[in-house]
Amino acid sequence: MENISYIGLSQQLSLQQQMNMTANNLANMSTPGYRAQQTLFSEYISQPRGGDIVRQANNSGSYRNLSVGSLTQTHNEFDVALQERGYFAVQTPGGIRYTRDGAFTLNAERQLVNKNGYPVMNENNETIQVQADATQVRITEDGEITSEAGTIGRLKVVNFDNEQDMLRTGENLFNPNGQAEVPVQNVRVVQGFTENSNVNPVVEMNRMIEVLRSYQSTQRMLQTDHERIRTAIQKLTQV
C-alpha cells in the first residue's frame, strides 16, 4: 500500500545526494586539478520494480570525470600542469598523497612544496631542494627541473590502475586506497601553467534544473498517492 511513498522517498533521497554533488562541483569550479563527480543511482531509481521490492538508492556509487582540464597560464616558474593523466606526489604527515594541483612554491629552506607546505617528491621519493644559486629554473616536458647551476631533480609523476578507487582527502589531494603506483610513460609537464577543474558549468546547471524538476514531480506523485488513499478511505467508509 505504501510502496509508492517508499519509492518516492528513495528517489527524493537520491536526488538530494545528487544535488549535493552538483553543488560541490559548482563550488569547486575554480579549484585547480579538481575532478567533477557524478552520482550513479538515479538510473537505479527510474525503473523501480513493481510488487513489494523497493530499491534503496544509497549504495550505488559515484564516479569522477577523469578528463584533463584546460590550462591557465600563470607565468609562475614553479607552477606546473599535467597534460596527460597522472598525479604529482607530495609527502604529507599521513603519508604520500597524490595531486593534480601543480601550484608549487619554495619554502624557507628552498624545498619545493605545495600550497599546504607539503614537500613535492622526486622520482626517488625524496624532497626536491633548489640550490640558492639556481636561477632561470626550467621544468622540461618530462618533469626534469634544471637551472643555470645544473640539474635539480625530476618530478615524480605516477598513475594508478583504478583512478575511480582513489579516495579524496580534501586540499586537492588523493589517497590511492592501497593501490600501487604505475609509472606514466608519456609525461607531459608544462611549466608556468595550472590545470583548471574539469567541471563543465553548463552540464552542472542543466543537471541542477533536472534534479529540481524531478524532485518536484516526485512530490506531485506523492501528493497524488496521498489523495488516492484519502479518497479510498472516504469512499469505503460511506457504505
Partner 1 sequence: MSLTLDIGATGMLAQQLNVDVISNNIANMTTTGYKRQRAEFQDLLYQTKVRPGASSSDQGTTVPAGIQQGLGVKAGSVYRINEQGALQMTGNPFDTAIKGEGYFMITLPSGETGYTRDGSFQLDQDGQLVTSEGYDVQPGITIPPDAVDVTINASGEVLVKLQNQTALTNVGQLQLATFANDAGLEAIGNNLLLETEASGTAVVSNPGEPGYGQIEQGALETSNVNIVQEITSLIQAQRAYEMNSKIIQTGDEMLSTVSNLR
DSSP string, 56-69: --TTS-EEE--SPP
Is the CB of residue 120 less than 8 Å from the CB of residue 100?
no
Angle at 57 between CA 198 and CA 17, to 5 degrees: 40
Is residue 182 a contact residue for partner 1 (CB under 8 A)? no
Helices (H), ranges, 1-106: 3-27, 42-46
Among residues 83, 169, 225, 229, the one that binds partner 1 under rule CB under 8 A: 169
DSSP state at residue 208: H
Q: How far is the CB of 179 from partner 1 (least distance, A)?
A: 9
Residue closer to partner 1 (CB basis): 67 or 216: 216
Applying CB under 8 A, what is the total number of residues that bind partner 1?
70
Which span (48-56, 83-91, 131-139, 229-237) binds partner 1, by CB under 8 A?
131-139
Residue closer to partner 1 (CB basis): 50 or 170: 170
Exposure pattern of 210-220 as b/e (b: 16+ CB <10 Å)? ebeebeeebee
Mode of pairing for the β-strands spanning 138-139 and 144-147: antiparallel
Residue closer to partner 1 (CB basis): 114 or 187: 114
Binding mask 52-71 for partner 1 (x = CB under 8 A): ------xxxxxxx-------
Is the CB of residue 215 less than 8 Å from the CB of residue 22?
no
Residues that bind partner 1 (CB under 8 A): 12, 15-17, 19-24, 26-32, 34, 37, 39-40, 58-64, 74-76, 101, 103, 105-110, 115-116, 132-133, 135, 162, 164-172, 177-178, 194, 201, 204-205, 208-209, 211-212, 215-216, 219, 222-223, 226
